[in-house]
Structure 1
Amino acid sequence: MGLFPEEKITVNLGERAYEVIIGPRLLSRLGHFLSGRDFTPRALLVTNTTAARLYAPLAEKSLARAGFEVVRAEIPDGEEHKSLATAAELYDLAYEHELDRRSPVLALGGGVVGDLAGFMAATYLRGVPYVQLPTTLLAQVDSSVGGKVAVNHPRGKNIIGAFYQPRLVLADVETLKTLPPREVRSGLAEVIKYGVIADPLFFAWLEENAERLLALEPAALVHAVAASVRIKAQVVEEDEREEGRRAVLNFGHTLGHALEAATGYTAWRHGEAVAVGMAAAARLAVYLGMLAEEEAARLVDLLRRVGLPVGLPGGISPEELLAFMRRDKKVLSGRLTFVLPVEIGKVEIVRDVPEEAVRRVLRLCYN
């Protein structure tokens, strides 16, 4: 057992239900968690260069003790490798090693690895089981839970994908100790998002405990990850396929995805782009008369305190960002859709936001 009790959260989706387990030292017990499930003993471990060096030997040793034969697929670091070309390489490897329909695909790494491995699992042999082993804060609180798997396309982020739930998620908070500070800050953007969309008390806790999280205090991390996952699980249970309420999880993402696409997915971390998107969405809500200025200021202040950007960089015009927003997969019949806060802890999905209002707010958001 670790120094702190594990948190176990069930994502209740009927026959697709699964557990999210959060705590320290989980990877060293990976084999234990997978034993007794309806898996065949050959597993594909998908990881990236950094996670492979830090955690793959630990995971593979635990799996070997439990009787699993591991085929490792190591991809380079970087969002640009979340592509159809990389997925094709994984298909080839799985086929060469004769993985069958009960062979688990294990995603060890951050959001890129999780999305890519999940997409591959959803489409190989029309679907094989997969397990999320997120090693970044961003992945632990967001992308590893909920079953949205995808790869990028040059014309947009995550526009080729599926809804495909994992069998299990193990969020080992010990892995967060090896993250660069920039990655920790990026993950905190999504943590802050959950407070804004659903829980004012959690947002207030974040205001009081931001420094503990930046210092990677284990108890604070377990609390923040568990609180975030509970909120996401509740939303996913209500709307698994993003046909209604689940869209609230896109708070900050309309502009965030546009910013990532406009910069080729390489200049900005996902959480950094989402932070800018959240700050801009709050300013847009104030402009439209939906949100008090003081509430927007609380969000912007907290983002700044944890070291996240809140303004747009030079060199990218509002028109360029609007062009990417129009291509976003959440746009219906050419109407811009934003998730906008009405108070801390409550947001609304606003369709057909006037482009001129977005344009004016964007002009105010440059650094």
Structure 2
Amino acid sequence: MSANFRVALKKVVDHSYDIVIGETLFNSLIEDLKRGIVENVSKYAIITDSKVEALYGQALQEQLIQNGFHAELFSFPAGEKSKTRETKAQLEDQLLSRSYGRDCCIIAIGGGAVTDLAGFLAGTFGRGVPSLNYATTLLAAADASIGGKTGVNTPVATNLIGVFHQPQKVYIDLATWRTLPIREFRSGLAETIKHACIADAGFFEFLERNMDKVVTTEGELVLDREVCERIALHNCEIKYGVVEKDELESNLRQVLNLGHTAGRALEALSGYDLLHGEAIAIGLVIQVQLAERLGYVTSDQAKRVIALLQKAGLPTEIPVTITDRMLIDKMYTDKKVRKGRIRFVFQEGIGSMKRFEDGSYSTPVEEQVLTELLYKIRQ
């Protein structure tokens, strides 16, 4: 004798949100809060890192308090090394000790590590509380603050632990780019170039023509406003075009991992001495040369991708301290691995992605093929 009861939970959820691009957007954020962009919130937790805390975090907290909001600041040591489960737990304990509950809102202000970590925290705290992202780096503007993927790193691999949690709104403050160290800005350019490779040949050509209007090969930030606005807007448009069709990364969204199979492995193997974008730049080089070998891009197209990365001042060679064996072993921890086989996504030419016969945007690559390519790259 048994009984059966069906739990019917079908529902339609609207995860839409706005992205605003401009300069000095604190007033815009505060006006949105006054208009009730997040409902039933009595207190705000500003999550940031030790660098951004002094630059922008404290100022945002002061303005929120001046406008009658209950806001407190919580920070963690800057850097990808701090984007861990342990840091998340520490922040959660701090929030709980300050009596934060389900009536709070998380405001993440900073770069990709901050929006990744704070977004994960918001997605699980109280089983999910609303969050806002205020991006202060090109990397966050191009990638991390948009799309709802959140997570932390582990000793095994990057970003394997996390949740999908969409923000209520994203603010991309171009003025904050002026305070970025040159390496941090270039790191964001890697994700920008990746987006152009994925979906927009015209944007790729725009970057080829205008890279020296944002950064010089000598290491000087130029930051032409019109060019920066176009870079920010195109990054959002391209990522939105993918996320809209595949919010939970069932297939298409894998294309956003272009360069990441090798890139994330390099980032972890370097002990995060390589910035995320620096590692992704090298990963893009490995991907495009492998794509050339497999016939998905021409030799000229591969050279253009590598040349643009170099024009942005990004590394394009595998560090000598990381052996081919180390790199291949670490690639086995990538999220796309299925049945013990390393998988890559590939660009097809410049501005489009290769889709395979089974409909997938990723495909297994045999270890022997990778070994031969890595040997060739190092020559």
SS of equivalent to 1:149: coil
Q: Which amino acid in structure 2 is aligned with residue 16 of structure 1?
A: H
The answer to whether the 8 A contact 1:130-1:166 is kept is: yes
The answer to whether the 8 A contact 1:22-1:226 is kept is: yes
Partner residue in 1 for 2:230: 223
1:279 to 282, 285, 293: 285
CA–CA separation in structure 1 for the residues paired with 2:170 and 2:192:
17
1:291 to 278, 294, 297: 297
1:244 to 251, 256, 262: 251
1:362 paired with 2:362, answer: no
CA–CA separation in structure 1 for the residues paired with 2:131 and 2:369:
43
CA–CA separation in structure 1 for the residues paired with 2:274 and 2:228:
24
Partner residue in 1 for 2:30: 31
1:329 positional shift: 1.4
The answer to whether the 8 A contact 2:61-2:72 is kept is: no
CA–CA separation in structure 2 for the residues paired with 1:33 and 1:182:
33
1:350 positional shift: 3.6
1:14 positional shift: 5.2
Q: Which amino acid in structure 2 is aligned with residue 65 of structure 1?
A: Q
1:351 paired with 2:350, answer: no
Partner residue in 2 for 1:153: 154
Partner residue in 2 for 1:104: 105
1:209 paired with 2:221, answer: no
Partner residue in 1 for 2:6: none
- 1:52-67 equivalences under 5 Å are 52-67=53-68
CA–CA separation in structure 2 for the residues paired with 1:290 and 1:56:
45
Partner residue in 2 for 1:21: 20
The alpha-carbon distance between structure 1 residues 114 and 258, as it changes in their structure 2 partners (threshold 3 A), is same
Coordinate RMSD, CA, aligned? 1.4
CA–CA separation in structure 1 for the residues paired with 2:233 and 2:66:
29
1:334 to 331, 340, 354: 340
SS of equivalent to 2:378: coil
1:100 positional shift: 2.5
Q: Which moved more, 1:234-243 or 1:315-324?
A: 315-324
The share of aligned pairs that are identical, in percent, is: 39
The answer to whether the 8 A contact 2:254-2:362 is kept is: no
TM-score (norm 2): 0.91
- 1:314-329 equivalences under 5 Å are 314-329=320-335
May I ask how many residue pairs the two structures share in their alignment?
A: 354
TM superposition outliers: structure 1 runs of 4+ over 4 Å? none
1:313 positional shift: 1.0
1:314 positional shift: 0.5
1:41 positional shift: 3.0
Larger radius of gyration: 2
Q: Which amino acid in structure 2 is aligned with residue 246 of structure 1?
A: R
- 1:39-50 equivalences under 5 Å are 39-50=40-51
Gaps of at least 5 residues in structure 2 are: 1-11, 216-221, 355-360
1:161 positional shift: 0.5
TM-score (norm 1): 0.94
Partner residue in 1 for 2:358: none
* CA displacement 1:205-264 (0-9 Å, x = unmatched): 111110112211122111101111111011001000111100000001000001011122
CA–CA separation in structure 2 for the residues paired with 1:183 and 1:218:
18
SS of equivalent to 2:274: coil
Partner residue in 2 for 1:172: 173
1:273 positional shift: 0.4
CA–CA separation in structure 2 for the residues paired with 1:332 and 1:66:
51
The answer to whether the 8 A contact 1:115-1:149 is kept is: yes
* CA displacement 1:170-224 (0-9 Å, x = unmatched): 0101000000111111100011111100000111111111011221112211110
CA–CA separation in structure 2 for the residues paired with 1:166 and 1:222:
21
* CA displacement 1:106-125 (0-9 Å, x = unmatched): 11111111111111111111
